[in-house]
Structure 1
Amino acid sequence: MDEYLILMRLDILTKDSQPSPEQLQIYMKQYQDWIDTIVAKKQFLSGTALSTEGRVVKSNQIITDGPFVETKESLAGFIIIQAKSFEDATNIAKKCPILMGEGNSVEVRKVMSIHTEE
């Protein structure tokens, strides 16, 4: 099996887009249930949420607060899974509960190793 990164993007900045504490509890339960199904299939490797704070370092050592560009959609977190194929990984990603939110998205990327141990 290969490793795949599932990136979860949603609006984590706009005040009106933030769920109530009750909604957040429901969303977190849905998310944990989704993760539990991946764990049960022994496909979950790791994952975490990301803070809303960040910095972007660009060429010429330009540092900006970020990572926000012209969009409200932000990288909220990611998980790394094992899957048989891109199609298998995409089918897992399609069940991510954040996709129930308007404008939210999930990106699937195959993890490629470019480093070798000597």
Structure 2
Amino acid sequence: MKEFLLVFRADYQSMPKASPEEMQANTQIWMNWIAGFAAQNKLSDRGNRLVSSGKVLKSDGIISDGPYTEIKESIMGYTLIKSTSLEEATALVQDCPILSIGGSVEIREISAM
């Protein structure tokens, strides 16, 4: 079984403001989706959400506010799953909750070092 990193991306600026009740319901949708991987024994690490601010350190030593304000989509969070192939991993994430708000999922195989 291989491991895959799921990187969730969306535009922080265009996300609708949610009430506390809507945020709780959305969190439950995500938890149920992640639980589906656990039930199939395909969850390696449920991952976490990321805050919208940060810093970017470049090879020339320049530090700037991040993440990458010049691009529209930001990384919202990540999860690690187990799958036999990239094709299977892609099929497993077809119902990801981020897709319902116009976001995307990047699926990357982790190469053991």
Give the alignment's Cα RMSD to 1 decimal: 1.5
1:34 correspondence with 2:49? no
Say whether the 8 Å CA contact 1:4–1:109 is kept in structure 2.
yes
Say whether the 8 Å CA contact 2:55–2:66 is kept in structure 1.
yes
TM superposition score normalised by structure 1: 0.86
CA distance in 2 between partners of 1:100 and 1:15 (Å): 13
Q: What corresponds to 2:83 in structure 1?
A: 83
- How far off is 1:15 after superposition? 7.0
Residues 19-42 of structure 1, C-alpha deviation per residue, up to 9 Å, x if partnerless? 222221221111111001100111
- How far off is 1:45 after superposition? 0.9
Structure 1: runs of 5 or more not aligned: none
Identity of aligned residues (%): 37
1:63 correspondence with 2:63? yes
1:111 correspondence with 2:110? yes
What letter is aligned with 1:64? S
Residues 36-56 of structure 1, C-alpha deviation per residue, up to 9 Å, x if partnerless? 110011111111111222111
- How far off is 1:92 after superposition? 1.6
Q: What corresponds to 1:73 in structure 2?
A: 73
1:45 correspondence with 2:58? no
Q: What corresponds to 1:9 in structure 2?
A: 9
- How far off is 1:18 after superposition? 3.0
What letter is aligned with 1:108? I
Secondary structure at the counterpart of residue 59 of structure 1: coil
TM superposition score normalised by structure 2: 0.89
Aligned length: 112
Structure 2: runs of 5 or more not aligned: none
Say whether the 8 Å CA contact 1:2–1:82 is kept in structure 2.
yes
CA distance in 1 between partners of 2:112 and 2:79 (Å): 17
- Pick closer, same or farther for the CA change 1:18–1:59 going to 2, 3 Å: same
What letter is aligned with 1:90? T
